[in-house]
């Protein structure tokens, strides 16, 4: 649930997300007797928090069109800060992966260079999107370039999440759930785009009719 504008909105909302992610990380690590196990558990926990925040940002505009109301309007209004919260959660996730690699030296040799490519591409887009989410930087870009970057970035990140979960399903069927959630989110976003296009056509048709009547 998105906090009301009078309580937590904008930067305070981002602060709440960051504190929650850090608190979850600390508690997850502390819950394990061995540090290496705690860090490994925190890697998984931050992957889940990042995924949840990504889904909210990914579907915000679609829900605003498909289910107009107070909640969807608040979600759309706070999308920027939810997205930055996702970036913060995934930054913590990256730091934990590095820490786990130091604590468990066998981790990195067990991974091929090809296996790291999707995640690297995803982080590159996430970095670019995060930097351009700040207004002084965004003002230096055209609206078209900004929109193309963020649209492409969201779809790239969706693809990275999808690949990450899909390839793990044979090892653990539980990964089918986040994969299904992501599939549903993609469908919701696509339906939202279709609804937006339909509304635009209806608006243009009404405007055209009004012009004909006035001429």
Rounded Cα–Cα distance for residues 48 and 22 (Å): 13
Across residues 20-25, what is the average pLDDT? 98
The residue among 142 and 203 whose pLDDT is bigger is 142
- CA distances from residue 50 to 46, 68, 151, 162, 212 in whole angstroms, order as listed: 6, 25, 18, 13, 51
Contact 17, 82 (CB under 8 A): yes
Task: Report the SS3 class of residue 69.
Answer: coil
Lowest mean pLDDT among 15-29, 173-187, 199-213: 199-213
Condensed to tens digits (0 to 9), the pLDDT of residues 151-194 reads 999 999 999 999 999 999 999 999 999 999 999 999 999 999 99
pLDDT digits (tens, 9 = 90+) for 115-152: 889 999 999 999 999 999 999 999 999 999 999 999 99
Written as six digits, the tokens of 12 are 């305070």
Alpha carbon distance 149, 163 (integer Å): 21
pLDDT (average), residues 42-50? 97
Output the six-digit token pair for 120.
Answer: 């690297």
Query: Of 26, 87, 54, 31, nearest to 165 (Cα)?
Result: 54
CA distance 172 to 16: 32
How does residue 4 score in pLDDT terms, banded at 50, 70 and 90?
very low
- Higher local confidence (pLDDT), 51 or 107: 51
Start-to-end CA span in the chain (Å): 49
* Interval 31-54 mean pLDDT: 97
53-111 pLDDT per residue, tens: 999 999 999 999 999 999 999 999 999 999 999 999 999 999 999 999 999 988 888 77
pLDDT at 2: 43
């Amino acid at each position: 649930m998105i906090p009301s504008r009078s309580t937590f909105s904008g930067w305070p909302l981002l602060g709440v997300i960051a504190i929650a992610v850090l608190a979850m990380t600390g508690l997850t690590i502390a819950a394990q007797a061995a540090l290496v196990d705690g860090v490994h558990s925190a890697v998984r926990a931050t992957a889940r928090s990042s995924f949840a925040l990504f889904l909210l940002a990914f579907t915000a505009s679609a829900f605003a069109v498909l289910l107009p109301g107070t909640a969807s309007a608040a979600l759309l209004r706070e999308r920027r800060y939810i997205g930055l919260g996702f970036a913060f959660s995934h930054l913590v996730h990256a730091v934990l992966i590095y820490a786990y690699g130091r604590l468990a030296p066998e981790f990195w040799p067990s991974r091929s260079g090809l296996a790291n490519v999707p995640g690297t591409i995803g982080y590159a887009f996430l970095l670019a999107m995060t930097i351009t989410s700040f207004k002084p930087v965004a003002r230096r870009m055209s609206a078209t370039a900004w929109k193309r970057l963020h649209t492409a970035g969201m779809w790239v990140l969706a693809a990275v999440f999808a690949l990450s979960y899909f390839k793990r399903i044979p090892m653990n069927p539980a990964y089918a759930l986040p994969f299904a959630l992501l599939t549903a989110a993609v469908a919701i976003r696509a339906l939202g785009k279709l609804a937006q296009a339909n509304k635009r056509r209806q608006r243009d048709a009404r405007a055209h009719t009004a012009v004909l009547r006035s001429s």
